[in-house]
Amino acid sequence: MRYRLLTAALAATAALQFAGPAAATDLEVIHWWTSKGESAAVSQFAKAFDNDGHGDRWVDSAIALGETARSTVMQRVLGGDPPGAAQFNPGRQYEELISGGKLLDLTDVATAGKWDEVIRPKAIGSACLVDGHWWCVPVNIHSNYWAWYSKPVFEKAGVPEPKNLADFIAAAPKIKEAGLIPFAIGGDGNGWQIQLLFQDMVTEALGVAQRDKMYTTKSAEIAGGPEMKGVFTQLRTLKQFTDNGYANRNWNDTTNLVITGKAGLQVMGDWARGEFAAAGMTGVKDFGCMIGLNEAKPVVSTDGDIILFFKQGNADVEAAQKRLAALLISPEVQVAFNNAKGSMPVRGDVDMSTADPCMQKSLKAVEDPANIVTATNRFITENTNQQLNELVAQFFADDSMTADDATAKFATIIGSSD
Amino acid sequence: MQKSWRRRFHLPAVIGTIPMILVAVGVFVIGIGFSVLWSFTSSKLFPTYDFVGLAQYRRLWADNRWLVSVNNIWFFGLMSITCNMVFGYLLAVFMDQRIRQEDLFRSIFLYPFAMSLIVTGLVWQWALDPNLGLQEALRNWGWSSFSFAPLVSAETALYALVVAGIWQGSGVTMAILLAGLRGIDEDIWKAARVDGIPTWRTHMSIVAPMMKGAFATAFVLQCVSVVRVYDLVIAMTGGGPGIATSMPAVYVIQLITVRQNVGQGMAAATMMLLPVLVVLAFSGILLWRRNRLREAGA
């Protein structure tokens, strides 16, 4: 008697499960969007996926710091328990995942959504389109080529707002005299912030064409040349204008120094704009943005984020993965996400009239292909990337290492990269 | 025949050690075997069996970060083991003076060891952060020229790690050595006092040699913790500033997980195993010789 009731209850729950939406699915997504502006942006994805009408649920796995999140994903894949989806940066970080057959082929979703037509510029799509198959979804275009500065700081120090890096270096001593930190930077995660600055300076010093040639031909000659020595010398100059709390600081705490008017300028990708927005600031009066390291030569890089989907061996889950893939790139989600994040949408056919003055600058620059800098990650593997991180971070931390030494080491790394 | 086998292998003892044997063989021997095997391959993200000879080792020893890591571990190891043994012994002698509140003091000294290195490392990092910790506090109290930020400078960060390592490790050394001290017969002290030998001399020449076993245990524990030092570095400096405080274990994990370069990471892991094997072989030979001498003597 008692058992009959229990059985009936069990049967009812089982029936309910089948009566619900055909394929209600939880999908775990690993990403490193952990700062205030970033989590505001990623919640747009989660909201859209939770309300897609199929009863799907976005299971959020946010892991701070890109290299930590990526290595977690790699370990999970190797251990046979891949997450449903994961954030990566476009480049060579995932080439072995493709060749190892770990990723879900999204070609049918892409064909249905005409991705090859709507995604612009082409370089963004090519990060995912490998051998005629789509392996990932580009979700935004981030440019690493930005400097953000606090207008009140420059006012207080009585110096004009900078138009290029040389302006800033000239103004920096005055800011220091005013008791403020002229140059904000952080050294966490193996020094990736320092390398971002360094790469911006390399492009500025070599020019886009010469820089691309150095990375594609792995030219130790260009990498060991006088321009590169100039970059290292300038990097040492910038170090004098930092504060001594930089060593372990992450990027958003660094941005916060600029937001709160404690520091003058930070070189960081445009995800920093999301922090300013989350702090309620606009790019008209509170903070300024310098596109590239030289307003006269605006450049936009094709960095950004992509979402990879992993093979699950379960048709229901794969259907949900494909629903999410289509959703991420849909016009409404693109606008909501990118406005919160500070990045540009990957499709040119959406209305970005609400974008702030800084993004308007990049939307204008991206129209001219000559302004587009290919992301460094496209040329180099994660191994080389980390070697460069280490070199630049070591040079930045250790004043006894000369610019000549650093240039020679840089040439060796580039020359022997694979 | 039957009898001698029984005497050698007690069945309960064999059953009791089976889990340990399985773990030792399964995890250590097989795991180490694969590590060594993959160190000779060109494995990147996924392990492969494409053998490239010693190429990974050549790249390893040409890698600046590895060289820095090896230098650091020697410095860190020598400094922290020496200081831990000295401080641990002094603390143990202090505790052995029949002081009041001995339990309280013992808990205080052992406390750092009981806590996770990630937690204590983070606390150290905050305390030494120029914008959050000691420096800022003293400046706010009016000492505006005070400057103390060892973790942000490449020259001093390693010393800060050593200090944290000593703070963490001397307590457990004390506990082991204290047990050793307590094991010394009271009569020996009395005899030494009757002979008019100064206390320090008794410690150096009589008590310390009698505590050989306790010293050896403490020393081995210290060595092990030095070779695998990882969490302290990650929590306190992340290997930085730059690469100034990188250690071999940090390097291995970084290569395997972040740099997606399993082959070279395994080569580094194999290099970490070598000194341990050398020490093991050395002590094995010593033990064998001693046994043989004893047998010959008997």
Which range among A186-200, A403-417, B15-29, B129-143 shows the weakest confidence by mean pLDDT? Answer: B129-143
CA distance A248 to chain B (A): 7
- Average pLDDT on A283-305 reads 87
176-195 in chain A: CB under 8 A from chain B: 187-191
Which pLDDT does position B100 carry in this prediction? Answer: 83
Give domain status of residue A287, yes or no.
yes
pLDDT tens, N- to C-terminus, chain B (298 residues): 455 655 667 888 888 889 988 988 888 889 899 999 999 998 887 888 889 889 889 989 988 889 999 999 999 999 999 999 999 999 998 888 878 888 888 888 888 888 888 888 888 888 888 878 888 888 888 888 888 888 888 888 899 999 988 988 888 899 999 999 888 888 888 888 888 888 888 888 888 888 888 888 898 888 888 888 898 898 888 887 888 899 999 999 988 888 888 899 999 999 999 988 888 888 889 888 888 888 776 5
Say if the Cβ atoms of A390 and B65 lie within 8 Å: yes
Q: Which chain A residue shows the shortest CA-CA distance from B260?
A: A383
Task: Answer yes or no: do A409 and A352 share one domain.
Answer: no
Which pLDDT does position A235 carry in this prediction? Answer: 94
Say if the Cβ atoms of A67 and B258 lie within 8 Å: yes
| Partners of residue B46 in chain A, C-beta under 8 Å | 78, 96, 100
Task: Answer yes or no: do A269 and A390 share one domain.
Answer: yes
Order of strands across the sheet that contains A287-291: A181-184, A263-267, A146-150, A287-291
CA distance B144 to chain A (A): 13
**Distance in angstroms (rounded) separating the CA atoms of residues B218 and B214:** 6
| Partners of residue B152 in chain A, C-beta under 8 Å | 244-247
Task: Provide ipTM, 2 decimals.
Answer: 0.72
As beta bridge partners, residue A267 has A147
Say if the Cβ atoms of B129 and A245 lie within 8 Å: yes
Instruction: Name the band, by pLDDT with cuts 50, 70 and 90, for residue A18.
Output: very low
Task: Answer yes or no: do A281 and A316 share one domain.
Answer: no
Q: Mind listing the pLDDT tens digit for each residue in B18-33?
A: 998 898 888 888 989 9
- Domain tally for chain A? 2
**Distance in angstroms (rounded) separating the CA atoms of residues B13 and A203:** 69
Task: Answer yes or no: do A296 and A159 share one domain.
Answer: yes
| Partners of residue A260 in chain B, C-beta under 8 Å | none
Q: Which chain A residue shows the shortest CA-CA distance from B239?
A: A190
Best of A74, A94, A387, A394 to disrupt the B interface (most B CBs within 10 Å) is A394
| Partners of residue A102 in chain B, C-beta under 8 Å | none
The structural domains of chain B, with segments of one domain joined by +, span: 64-256
Task: Answer yes or no: do A211 and A182 share one domain.
Answer: yes
- In three-state secondary structure terms, A376 is helix
Does position A4 have pLDDT exceeding 60, yes or no? no
Task: Answer yes or no: do A162 and A136 share one domain.
Answer: no
Q: Smallest Cβ distance to B238: which of A245, A248, A395?
A: A248
Range of the domain at A200: 146-301+371-415
Which pLDDT does position B84 carry in this prediction? Answer: 93
As beta bridge partners, residue A266 has A148, A184
| Partners of residue B244 in chain A, C-beta under 8 Å | 394, 397-398
- Average pLDDT on A28-33 reads 94
- Its pTM stands at 0.79
* Pairing mode of beta strands A57-62, A26-31: parallel
Give domain status of residue A8, yes or no.
no
Task: Answer yes or no: do A182 and A320 share one domain.
Answer: no
- Average pLDDT on A90-104 reads 88
Q: Within 13 Å, how many C-alpha atoms sit on residue A266's CB side? A: 32
Task: Answer yes or no: do A87 and A173 share one domain.
Answer: no
Q: Which chain A residue shows the shortest CA-CA distance from B132?
A: A245
Which pLDDT does position A60 carry in this prediction? Answer: 93
Which pLDDT does position A59 carry in this prediction? Answer: 93
Q: Which chain B residue shows the shortest CA-CA distance from A94?
A: B45
Task: Answer yes or no: do A263 and A280 share one domain.
Answer: yes
Task: Answer yes or no: do A157 and A292 share one domain.
Answer: yes
Which range among A177-186, A302-311, A375-384 shows the weakest confidence by mean pLDDT? Answer: A375-384
Task: Answer yes or no: do A207 and A327 share one domain.
Answer: no
Contact in structure between A235 and A195 (CB atoms under 8 Å): no
Give domain status of residue A6, yes or no.
no
Give domain status of residue A5, yes or no.
no
CA distance B25 to chain A (A): 21
Task: Answer yes or no: do A309 and A203 share one domain.
Answer: no
Does position A412 have pLDDT exceeding 60, yes or no? yes
Does position A342 have pLDDT exceeding 60, yes or no? yes
Which pLDDT does position B2 carry in this prediction? Answer: 54
Give domain status of residue A17, yes or no.
no
Give domain status of residue A1, yes or no.
no
b/e for B178-194, b at 16 or more Cβ within 10 A? bebbeebeeeeeeebee
What CATH topology corresponds to B64-256?
MetI-like fold (1.10.3720)
Say if the Cβ atoms of B130 and A243 lie within 8 Å: yes
Q: Smallest Cβ distance to B241: which of A74, A397, A409?
A: A397
CATH code for position A290: 3.40.190.10
